């Protein structure tokens, strides 16, 4: 069925570079259709130097909301009118809402990740957790887990200085969570409630040297990678009987939470999930 667009059709979208391969247009358009909302979601390829103009364009053209993806999640912040304290701390926005010309930014990667853990029946409160990686994704995951009451979070990163800076920065904001930059040896020797891979290792080449069978005790595993759907770490978790999830849940729930942030309505999660499952 062809959708009839009119002068009242609301426009949403995603800005990034590249954006051509984004799953979000299919997922969000299916959600609008399912709830009979007169809106369309488009992909806008925006070069880094054109971010101020693109954000001004959201106001000028009355675009109702956008997702923001690589490499613009940090650079858009200075163009916005309001962001939540947690989003400020992470330093990355993935969703913008236009409220009568006032642009409000949030980060639904954080809530999306925490919600994806529910499929493992895992709550971060009072738990010991280790993160592999200290990049942009790690910041969002770390903030979400600390905000949800994790008691202890270890961070291991190839570039140790990056993990150390993250610990220093976030320790001040989350004094109730013990944060520590650690070696692989510590990850191997410490019993953990959850291990999260936030690195890009496993996406194209799999250079990760962590062997889960050598770990003392890991109760759950989350790998943020969703393509391929089963990284070496996830395959190993399956062999060892460790409950595990890939990044598909985070992708789905960040989209669901963005939809609700824009429309104020519960997202049609099953419809959105079906779209993602058709793509992989």
Known catalytic residues are: 73
> What is the smallest separation between the CB atom of 33 and ligand ATR, expressed in angstroms?
30
What span, in angstroms and rounded, lies between the C-alpha atoms of 184 and 203?
20
* Selected binder of ligand ATR within 200, 219, 260, 268 (CB under 6 A): 200
Tokens 């895992």 belong to 122
Q: Is 157 in the site for ligand ATR (CB under 6 A)?
A: yes
- Beta carbon nearer to ligand ATR, 50 or 200: 200
Asked if 34 and 269 touch (Cβ cutoff 8 Å), the reply is no
**Residue 105: C-alpha distances to residues 88, 108, 113, 183 (Å):** 9, 10, 18, 35
- Choice from 57, 91, 136, 268 touching ligand ATR (CB under 6 A): 136
Query: Is residue 199 a contact residue for ligand ATR (CB under 6 A)?
Result: yes
Q: Which stretch binds ligand ATR (CB under 6 A): 151-159, 172-180, 187-195, 211-219?
A: 151-159
Q: Is 68 exposed, middle or buried (0-12, 13-18, 19+ CB in 10 A)?
A: buried
The answer to whether 226 touches 280, Cβ cutoff 8 Å, is yes
Kindly indicate which of the ranges 122-130, 183-191, 199-207, 237-245 contains the residues binding ligand ATR, using the contact rule CB under 6 A. 199-207
Bridge pairing between strands 178-181 and 152-156:
parallel
Give the interface segment with ligand ATR, choosing from 53-61, 95-103, 127-135, 188-196 (CB under 6 A). Answer: 127-135
Task: For residue 162, state whether it binds ligand ATR (rule: CB under 6 A).
Answer: yes
For residue 245, give the nearest of 115, 114, 111, 116 by alpha carbon.
116
202 in contact with ligand ATR (CB under 6 A): no
Binding site for ligand ATR (CB under 6 A): 133-138, 157-159, 162, 198-201, 207
């Amino acid at each position: 069925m062809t959708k009839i667009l009119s002068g009242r059709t609301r426009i949403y979208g995603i800005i990034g570079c590249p954006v051509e391969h984004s799953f979000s247009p299919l997922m969000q358009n299916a959600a609008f259709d399912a709830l009979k909302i007169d809106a369309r979601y488009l992909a806008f390829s925006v070069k880094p130097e054109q971010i101020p103009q693109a954000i001004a364009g959201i106001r000028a053209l009355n675009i109702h909301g956008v997702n923001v993806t690589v490499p613009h999640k940090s650079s858009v912040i200075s163009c916005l009118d309001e962001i939540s304290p947690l989003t400020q701390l992470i330093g990355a926005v993935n969703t913008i809402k236009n409220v009568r010309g006032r642009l409000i930014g949030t980060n639904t990667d954080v809530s999306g990740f925490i919600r994806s853990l529910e499929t493992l029946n895992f709550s971060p409160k009072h738990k010991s957790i280790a993160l592999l990686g200290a990049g942009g994704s790690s910041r969002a995951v770390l903030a979400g887990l600390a905000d949800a009451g994790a008691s202890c979070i270890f961070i291991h990163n190839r570039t140790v200085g990056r993990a150390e800076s993250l610990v220093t920065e976030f320790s001040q904001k989350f004094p109730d969570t013990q944060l520590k930059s650690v070696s692989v040896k510590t990850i191997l020797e410490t019993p953990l409630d959850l291990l999260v891979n936030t690195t890009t290792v496993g996406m194209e080449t799999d250079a990760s040297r962590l062997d889960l069978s050598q770990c003392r005790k890991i109760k759950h595993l989350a790998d943020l990678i969703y393509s391929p759907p089963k990284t070496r770490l996830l395959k190993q978790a399956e062999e060892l009987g460790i409950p595990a999830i890939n990044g598909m849940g985070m992708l789905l729930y960040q989209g669901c939470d963005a939809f609700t942030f824009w429309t104020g309505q519960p997202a049609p999660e099953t419809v959105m999930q079906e779209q993602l499952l058709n793509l992989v």
